[in-house]
Structure 1
Amino acid sequence: MSVWEALAVLLAGIGAGGINAVVGSGTLFTFPVLLAFGYPPVTASISNSIGLAPGTLTGTIGYRRELRGQGRRLLRLAAMSCLGALTGGVLLLNLPSEVFESVVPVLIGLACVLIIVQPRLSRRLRERRRRAPGRGPLLPLGVYAAGTYGGYFAAAQGIVLISVLGTALDEDMQRINALKNALAAVVNGTAAVFYITFGSPSWPVAALIAAGSTIGGYTGARLGRKLKPFALRGLIVAVGLTAAVQLVLDRF
């Protein structure tokens, strides 16, 4: 890895950490960079999961005030996130790499769609909570499914979690976002331990993303909030679609 490539990975990690704290789609920054530098998709995903884990933790610390009073809820849902992350990790390491390479462009495309429709989705979730507030009996199952997705491929995991939590919980959006960050930290932390034990990451890449995401998770959120929502979503979608196209072209 050249110095310029290392710098690009580090900067991508900083951006991913900050965006994960605010929106939840940082993988769409780091994953395409790794693909562009020639890393196989599965190796890129494993290294990325390990590297982003510290960033989700510092992002959670940044939202600690909004987590007050949610301790019991967090513990209950964290168990489902942990189980989901393990399920996703087992799927990634045991399914043929061709399956991952075929599925990931679709997952990235769906993630981009989620990012585009997020404002409308958030409005509908707020209206639904006002009409029918409640805990939602399917919430643990939804959190488990989001954890499985995050353990397998983490792009837009945060947006999936916000949609699940926002549908079921009658809470302020900032408190939901704080809970999302904490559950994403559980998923990424569990997946990181799993991949360190059973996977074959690129350690230089994982270390660079970890350093960057640690900085970005705590301080990058402020930088992300200075971007207008339209510009931020446009940048993420452009990067994500580039990665999806690159994956499709590599198969031919």
Structure 2
Amino acid sequence: MSLLVILLLFLAGFATGAINAVAGGGTFISFGALSLIGVPPISANATSSIAGLPGYFTSTLPYLKDIRTIWRGILVLAVVSILGSLLGALILLWLNDAQFSAAVPWLLLGATGLFAAGPWLKPKPREAAERTERRGLAAPLIQFVTSIYGGFFGAGMGIMMLATLGLTESGDYHRLNAIKNVLANVIALVAIVVFVSGGVVNWAGALAMIPGVALGGYCGVWIAKRVAQIAVRIFVIAVGLFLAGYYFVTG
């Protein structure tokens, strides 16, 4: 891996961390950068998950106080998230690159659409507070399906999870976001263990990106004060559509 490629991956990691901090959707950047330098799609997906791990942890830190009060209530969701993520990651490893490449443009289009609809999918605090918890089978079943997607691909997972939690959990937006962040960590960690065990991680690419992701996440607050979130969202959507087109042509 040349110094130029390492620099480009570092910058892609920085953009990933910063975009995740400002608006979400940074996975498009890390996955796209790895794809465009020739990393096979399955490896690019797995490596992108590794590179994004610091962001999953840091996004949870502001909610530690809330998490201490809710963790017992989300144990069932955490368990089904483990099972779903394990299944999704194993399905990915069962595929070959040609099969996954055929699915990638459709996954990217779906994730881009989900990201574009994100502002409308967020539950409104008043509506969330008025909901009663519909625990039953609905909550774990919906979370199981979401975690399969998260283990398999992951782009747009946070937005999808926030929307589905709004259907089954009570509380305001911040409570739902705290639950989402906990479950996102669970899903990511399980998928990463499977990917590492399967030997599909491009470690050189991951190591080049991780410092950039960490730095970008740290600078995200500064960027958020100076760049309109709508501009970041438009950029992420454009990248998602570009990558979908790229895979439609080359896949």
Flag whether TM exceeds 0.5 (same fold). yes
Q: Which residue of 1 aligns with 2:212?
A: 212
Larger CA deviation: 49-58 vs 11-20: 11-20
* Residue pair 1:18, 1:59 contacting (<8 A) in 2 also: no
**Displacement, 1:14?**
3.0
Structure 1 segment 140-219 matched on structure 2, within 5 A: 140-217=140-217, 219=218
Change (3 A) 1:143 1:19: farther
Change (3 A) 1:201 1:130: closer
**Displacement, 1:17?**
3.2
For the residue of structure 2 that corresponds to 1:200, the secondary structure is: coil
* Residue pair 2:115, 2:159 contacting (<8 A) in 1 also: yes
Q: Which residue of 1 aligns with 2:221?
A: 222
2:169 and 2:22 map into 1 onto residues whose CA distance is 19
* Residue pair 2:42, 2:200 contacting (<8 A) in 1 also: no
* Residue pair 2:129, 2:172 contacting (<8 A) in 1 also: no
- Taking only the aligned residue pairs, the percentage that are identical comes to 34
**Displacement, 1:130?**
5.3
* Residue pair 1:134, 1:169 contacting (<8 A) in 2 also: yes
| Deviation per residue, 1:10-56 (Å, 9 max, x gap) | 23223323444564422111111111111111111111112222321
2:143 and 2:181 map into 1 onto residues whose CA distance is 13
| Deviation per residue, 1:102-150 (Å, 9 max, x gap) | 1111111111111222222225x55653554324431112222121111
Q: Which residue of 1 aligns with 2:70?
A: 70
| Equivalent residue pairs, number | 249
Mark the runs of 5 or more structure 1 residues left unpaired by the alignment.
none
Larger CA deviation: 11-20 vs 165-174: 11-20
Tell me, yes or no, if structure 1 residue 234 matches structure 2 residue 234. yes
* Residue pair 1:85, 1:187 contacting (<8 A) in 2 also: yes
Change (3 A) 1:221 1:63: farther
Tell me the TM-score normalized by structure 1. 0.88
Change (3 A) 1:24 1:70: farther
Q: Which residue of 2 aligns with 1:121?
A: 121
2:183 and 2:98 map into 1 onto residues whose CA distance is 29
1:241 and 1:79 map into 2 onto residues whose CA distance is 34
1:65 and 1:131 map into 2 onto residues whose CA distance is 23
1:66 and 1:230 map into 2 onto residues whose CA distance is 29
| Deviation per residue, 1:46-76 (Å, 9 max, x gap) | 1111222232112212432343411113433
* Residue pair 1:126, 1:166 contacting (<8 A) in 2 also: no
2:170 and 2:21 map into 1 onto residues whose CA distance is 21
For the residue of structure 1 that corresponds to 2:224, the secondary structure is: helix
| Deviation per residue, 1:221-244 (Å, 9 max, x gap) | 424633323112101101111111
Tell me the TM-score normalized by structure 2. 0.89
2:22 and 2:174 map into 1 onto residues whose CA distance is 10
Q: Which residue of 2 aligns with 1:84?
A: 84
Larger CA deviation: 128-137 vs 37-46: 128-137
Give the root-mean-square deviation of aligned CA atoms. 2.2
